């Protein structure tokens, strides 16, 4: 065995990374040529890379670090549970205390009617569980032909076979013959793209009517469920008009269709309520969660099961032939428990709803005046800036110019992590962010927009 005394250089980490680690959603060869940024530590809303650069992490890791980095309560909870019982299964009529306690706590913070939880290891697995449960529900009710799940284009529901099928990302469907049968997609409620010239309220009703059109086309007796994110996250922080979700609810109720809210991003305070469906005004039958349940400190996901489905599964179902080795993992649940309690202790849901959420909205209203910005929108601590070539006509840049990526690289260069979805710049900062840090964030965004504007100007892309 050899021991090295000098620490590995960034280049050496990058070389080993490129040689062995296939990253998710990555062009392997292109990344190898460029080299990964090596992130070494985090504290509060900031992260540092191996070259010592400090970055304000405005995307919370990947929409998950709701309580920020370095929270002692979560670290201690994991340590204690690992020392006591690092793992035990819940398959064979056994349970563990952290799983029970977290299940209890989750039902207490969920909307009324959600008394049960099925645990998974991730959001994708949670949506696999949704698919299994929804179809099982209709089988048990003697309507096995009710199989079709309606979702939306540009939705993100994960990357397993069921998750990617439920999702509406065409570039994902293009690889691996997806979606699987009996999953269909309607258009998304994206007012900026599809509702120009209409009031937001009217567009919301129109977008919801596409669901009813699809139900009528298929026949309601074939439709099992509708699934959606209250606010589409990975699709570009697309905030539907206020009229949308209540109308979707009305349509689902009318046709007996189950309603599933994918709360993987919107859950745990992100929108200023415990769950996004509460902010958007609807009452789902199932809620998928992951990410914010542990603030990303450890993998955990699951499905909150509402009364309508729980009753049938429990009273008529017999054995449900589904589960994961890590369903109710004691360490993950202990961290989830500490995380949810910390959100309560710090009052983060109110902090988002009453303080930093409205304050961020104010800052975004100012950013809306920037010449590059065609639309600025936010809800709680999710926000988007649509970059456009022409502010008055909302004309977009040609997509091959990759103006969003240009802006993103200015962000990295100036100490800010902001994500680009096409030319839509999106953020979802940790919920612990303060007003002073929102000022810092808005200042960084402004500087990066100015630098991007100067670039597109120099390159003659504004003409």
Ligand X SMILES: *Cc1c(COP(=O)(O)O)cnc(C)c1O
Residues that bind ligand X (CB under 6 A): 63, 122-124, 156-158, 229, 233-234, 262, 264-265, 290-291, 301
Cβ nearer to ligand X, comparing 131 with 388: 131
Closest CA to 348 of 240, 424, 272, 419: 272
Cβ nearer to ligand X, comparing 103 with 303: 303
- Shortest spacing between CB 314 and ligand X, in angstroms: 26
Contacting residues for 274 by C-beta, under 8 A, at least 6 apart: 109, 110, 111, 267, 268, 349
- Shortest spacing between CB 235 and ligand X, in angstroms: 9
- Shortest spacing between CB 165 and ligand X, in angstroms: 12
- Shortest spacing between CB 92 and ligand X, in angstroms: 26
Are 134 and 225 in contact by the 8 Å Cβ rule? The answer is yes
Q: Could you check whether the bond before residue 179 is cis, i.e. omega within 30 degrees of 0?
A: yes
3-state secondary structure of 387: strand
Contacting residues for 424 by C-beta, under 8 A, at least 6 apart: 236, 237, 384, 385, 386, 387, 404
Cβ nearer to ligand X, comparing 162 with 211: 162
3-state secondary structure of 306: strand
- Shortest spacing between CB 122 and ligand X, in angstroms: 3
Q: What are the DSSP calls for 423-460, one per residue?
A: TEEEE---TT--HHHHHHHHHHHHHHHHHHHHHHHHTT
Are 106 and 341 in contact by the 8 Å Cβ rule? The answer is no
How far is the C-alpha of 18 from the C-alpha of 22, rounded, in Å? 8
Cβ nearer to ligand X, comparing 263 with 423: 263
For the chain, how far is it from start to end, CA to CA, in angstroms? 62
- Shortest spacing between CB 163 and ligand X, in angstroms: 6
Contacting residues for 112 by C-beta, under 8 A, at least 6 apart: none
- Shortest spacing between CB 229 and ligand X, in angstroms: 5
Report which residue's Cβ sits closest to ligand X. Answer: 123
- Shortest spacing between CB 411 and ligand X, in angstroms: 21
Q: What are the DSSP calls for 143-207, one per residue?
A: -TT--EEEEETT----SSHHHHHHS--HHHHTTTT-SPTTEEEE----HHHH-TTS-HHHHHHHH
- Shortest spacing between CB 65 and ligand X, in angstroms: 13
> Residue holding tokens 């049938």?
312
Cβ nearer to ligand X, comparing 123 with 404: 123
- Shortest spacing between CB 57 and ligand X, in angstroms: 16
Cβ nearer to ligand X, comparing 238 with 407: 238
- Shortest spacing between CB 141 and ligand X, in angstroms: 27
CA angle 287, 243, 277 (to 5 degrees): 15
Cβ nearer to ligand X, comparing 102 with 388: 102
Cβ nearer to ligand X, comparing 64 with 453: 64
Cβ nearer to ligand X, comparing 262 with 278: 262
Q: What are phi and psi of 384, to 5 degrees?
A: -140, 145
Sign of torsion over alpha carbons 240, 441, 408, 275: negative
Are 414 and 444 in contact by the 8 Å Cβ rule? The answer is yes
Cβ nearer to ligand X, comparing 116 with 291: 291
Are 300 and 66 in contact by the 8 Å Cβ rule? The answer is no
- Helix 244-255 and helix 200-218, axial crossing angle in degrees, nearest 10: 20
Cβ nearer to ligand X, comparing 261 with 377: 261
């Amino acid at each position: 065995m050899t021991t090295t005394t000098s620490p590995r250089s960034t280049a050496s980490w990058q070389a080993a990374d490129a040689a062995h680690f296939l990253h998710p959603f990555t062009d392997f060869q292109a990344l190898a040529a460029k080299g990964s940024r090596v992130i070494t530590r985090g504290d509060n809303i900031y992260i540092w890379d191996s070259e010592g650069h400090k970055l304000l992490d405005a995307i919370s890791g990947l929409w998950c670090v709701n309580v920020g980095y370095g929270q002692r309560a979560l670290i201690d909870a994991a340590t204690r549970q690992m020392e006591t019982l690092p793992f035990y299964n819940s398959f064979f009529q056994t349970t563990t205390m952290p799983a029970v306690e977290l299940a209890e706590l989750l039902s207490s913070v969920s909307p009324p009617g959600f008394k049960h939880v099925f645990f998974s290891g991730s959001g994708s697995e949670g949506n696999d569980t949704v698919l299994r449960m929804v179809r099982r529900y209709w089988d048990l009710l003697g309507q096995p032909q009710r199989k079709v799940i309606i979702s939306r284009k540009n939705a993100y529901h994960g990357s397993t076979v069921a998750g990617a099928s439920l999702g509406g990302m065409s570039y994902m469907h293009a690889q691996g013959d997806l979606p699987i049968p009996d999953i269909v997609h309607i258009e998304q409620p994206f007012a900026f793209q599809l509702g120009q010239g209409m009031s937001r309220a009217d567009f919301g009703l129109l977008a919801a009517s596409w669901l009813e059109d699809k139900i009528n086309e298929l026949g309601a007796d074939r439709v099992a469920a509708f699934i959606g994110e209250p606010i589409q996250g990975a699709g570009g922080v697309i905030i539907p008009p206020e009229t949308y979700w209540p109308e979707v609810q009305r349509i689902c109720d009318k046709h007996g269709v189950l309603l599933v809210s994918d709360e993987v991003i919107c859950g745990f305070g992100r929108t200023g309520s415990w769950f996004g469906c509460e902010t958007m005004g609807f009452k789902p039958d199932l809620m998928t969660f992951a990410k914010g349940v542990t603030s990303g400190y450890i993998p955990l996901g699951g499905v909150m099961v509402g009364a309508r489905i729980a009753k049938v599964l429990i009273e008529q179902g017999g054995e449900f032939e589904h589960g994961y080795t890590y369903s109710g993992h004691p360490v993950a649940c202990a961290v989830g428990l500490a995380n949810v309690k910390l959100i309560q202790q710090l009052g983060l849901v109110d902090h988002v709803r009453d303080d930093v959420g409205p304050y961020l909205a104010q800052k975004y209203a100012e950013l809306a005046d920037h010449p590059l910005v065609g639309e600025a929108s936010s809800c709680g601590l999710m926000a988007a800036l649509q970059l456009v070539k022409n502010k008055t006509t909302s004309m977009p840049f040609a997509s091959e110019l990759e103006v969003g990526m240009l802006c993103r690289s200015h962000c990295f260069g100036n100490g800010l992590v902001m994500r680009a979805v096409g030319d839509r710049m999106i953020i979802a900062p940790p919920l612990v962010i303060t007003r002073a840090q929102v000022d810092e964030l808005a200042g960084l965004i402004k500087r990066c927009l100015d630098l991007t504007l100067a670039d597109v100007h120099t390159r003659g892309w504004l003409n």
